[in-house]
Structure 1
Amino acid sequence: MAEEYKSLHPLKYYRDYYSHDIRPDGREFFDFRPIIVNVGSITTADGSAIAKVGKSTVICGIKAELCRPKPESPKEGFLITNLELPSLCSSKFKPGSSNEQAQVLTQLIANIIENSKCINLEELCILKDKLAWCLYTDLICLDYDGSVLDACLIALMACLKSVTLPHIDYDPALDIKQANLEDRKPLNVYSTPITTTFAIFDDKIILSDPSNEEENLCTGTVSVAVLNDQELCSVHKPGGSPLSEQQVMDCIEKSKLRSRSVKKLIDAALRDMICQKNIS
């Protein structure tokens, strides 16, 4: 009966719950869903990770390839990010069609990574104007259930921290490259940007970590990116209901608290990966 009522009158269904300061899944307004992080699951990649935020699941893999630096940036390598939202992850995405949301999220993720300066692109350069690393970062959403940006950043940061690059012997005169696969060094990651998404319902109720159903019914969203637990990186609000200055500050404070626990979770997953490698 409840499911029929929900499908016929979704807005009223949610309003009835919110009027009692609780959400249909049992969470309070500022509660978050559980997070799971697994690192190193793709053995053929130079770095990989899976992140789950509630039911939202994103897998990230990084493949490192050698390339020539851009003429305008002869001392820098590349970090190229791409997100796929295939039809298998949600019925809202149709097979074979271009996905505008995936393009928007891809650019947003790239902006957060650039603004956070978590990677020094000059460290990816092997020889100025001659040879550099290009890190192709592919994110694929396996299950879409809201707050996918948050799951993407968790998977991406865990993946970057798991990357190791082989030493390259390069003779520029003969243009001969040789990789020493036994001599690998971890990628330096200087900050950990973590995003937290909030939904605005009926122009007044703020919900943290919204599910897909809540996102579909909300009147606006805001995503806050925080660096290293405390430093604000960016606030992304694509239109919708306005927020007061106090509401924005509340979202930022909640994001800082959450980013601290998420960073600890990523570090714990990395330690587990190292321990498994040492045992094997």
Structure 2
Amino acid sequence: MKILCVCVRTAEPLEYHRSFLKENCRPDGRELGEFRPTTLNISSISTADGSAMVKVGNTTVICGIKAELTVPPPDAPESGYIVPNVDLPPLCSSRIRPGAPGEAAQAASQFIADVIQSSNLINMEELCIEKATLCWVLYCDIMCLDLDGNLLDACIIALGAALRTARLPEVVINQTGVAEVDLQKTRPLRVSRNPVGSSFAVFDDSIIIVDPTAEEESLSTAALTIVTDEEEQLCAVHKPGGTSLSGEKLQHCIRRAVTRHTEVSRLLDKVIGSMKTHK
């Protein structure tokens, strides 16, 4: 029987999944609205100014933050800025080819940048040291170590957790106009918001599942990611093509996203709180 199931899954993967979905469950035993176990480790990279590693099922990403001094952008002379970059190395999945960053990595980087801006994750003016002269730029490098679906949710959690652990050195501009950095005196970043992503996949234009695996993503007819904050406000909605969703189904996804935000917030508070207790 086991050999037969493997053959069916290989020959007709969509029909194999449909046989589970019609029973309101999935091949890995989850219910349609059930996320995979999520774990979080913080301060994973000792050389970074802030870091975190997140695992959602088998999907694993690590985020490292490096702060550097630079000149504020001309259109925002009283602000610093954040530069996110998502890296999908070939080792994370057999579907990733060596070479320049592919479309998936570029799309993920742009999505994370959009979330940072739309959610007001950090008050960028707090990154400014002196107007039009000096500010912090935070390079947020997010690397996927193992890709098994739902990359965006894991990236958002890792970014938020890494920012919460980040600390910036004290900087003073002396009388000669030279910036003096005191590495012995640091301050934490003040993270204003806590965006959390919830990703969905649609099968046969009607069945919606959460936290899809890589196989489920490849078989679905549409994908959707909804980002909410602690006030149950929408920060971003990302739907890269595919079949349309009715207003009723979209509202269902939003309600599940709000619940997911509560679940992830508890995990973040528990892990960050544990870090502060041990200091």
Distance 1:79 1:160 in 2: 11
Deviation at 1:274, TM superposition (A): 2.4
Q: Is the 8 A contact 1:63 1:137 kept in 2?
A: yes
Taking the aligned partners of 1:72 and 1:246, their CA distance within structure 2 comes to 41
Shift of residue 145, structure 1, vs aligned partner: 0.7
User: What residue number does 1:100 align with?
Assistant: 103
- Residue 167 of structure 1 is matched in structure 2 by 170
For residues 1-280 of structure 1, the aligned pairs below 5 Å read: 1=3, 2-171=5-174, 174-228=176-230, 230-276=232-278, 278=279
How far does residue 166 in structure 1 lie from its aligned partner after superposition? 1.1
Q: Displacement, 1:35?
A: 0.4
- Once residues 189 and 271 of structure 1 are traced to their aligned partners in structure 2, the CA distance between those partners, rounded to angstroms, is 15
Structure 2 counterpart of 1:272, one-letter code:
S
- Secondary structure of 2:35's partner? coil
How far is the alpha carbon of 1:12 from its aligned partner?
A: 1.1
Offset at residue 273 of structure 1 (A)? 2.2
Between the aligned partners of 1:113 and 1:74, the Cα distance in structure 2 is 19
Cα offset, 1:4, TM superposition: 2.4
Identity, % of aligned positions: 44
> In structure 2, how many angstroms separate the alpha carbons of the residues matched to 1:117 and 1:22?
37
Distance 1:53 1:122 in 2: 33
Deviations 1:215-248 (CA, angstroms, capped at 9, x unpaired)? 0000001100001151121221111111110100
Q: Runs ≥4 in structure 1, deviation > 6 angstroms?
A: none
Distance 1:274 1:63 in 2: 21
CA distance in 2, matches of 1:78, 1:22: 43
State the one-letter code of the partner of 2:121.
C
Deviation string, structure 1 residues 64-92 (Cα, Å, up to 9, x no partner): 01111122211111100000011100011
CA distance in 1, matches of 2:275, 2:168: 17
CA deviation profile, 1:27-61 (whole Å, cap 9, x unmatched): 11111111001111111110000011111101000
- Residues 80 and 135, structure 2, Cα contact 8 Å, conserved in 1: yes
The root-mean-square deviation of aligned C-alpha atoms, in Å, is: 1.1
Supply the distance in 2 between the matched residues of 1:184 and 1:265 (Cα, whole angstroms): 26
Q: Which runs of 5+ in 2 are unaligned?
A: none
Runs (5+) with no aligned partner, structure 1: none
In the TM superposition, what whole-angstrom CA distance separates every residue of 1:162-220 from its partner, at most 9, and x where no partner exists?
Answer: 1111111212x523222122221110111111010000011110001111100000000
Tell me the distance in 2 between the aligned counterparts of 1:177 and 1:98. Answer: 35
Give the letter for the 2:15 counterpart: K
TM-score w.r.t. the length of structure 2 is 0.96
8 Å Cα contact 1:229-1:259 kept in structure 2 = no
Q: Matches of 1:83 and 1:155 in 2, distance apart?
A: 11
Question: Aligned equivalents of 2:107 and 2:12: distance in 1?
Answer: 30
Greater shift after overlay, 14-23 or 207-216? 14-23
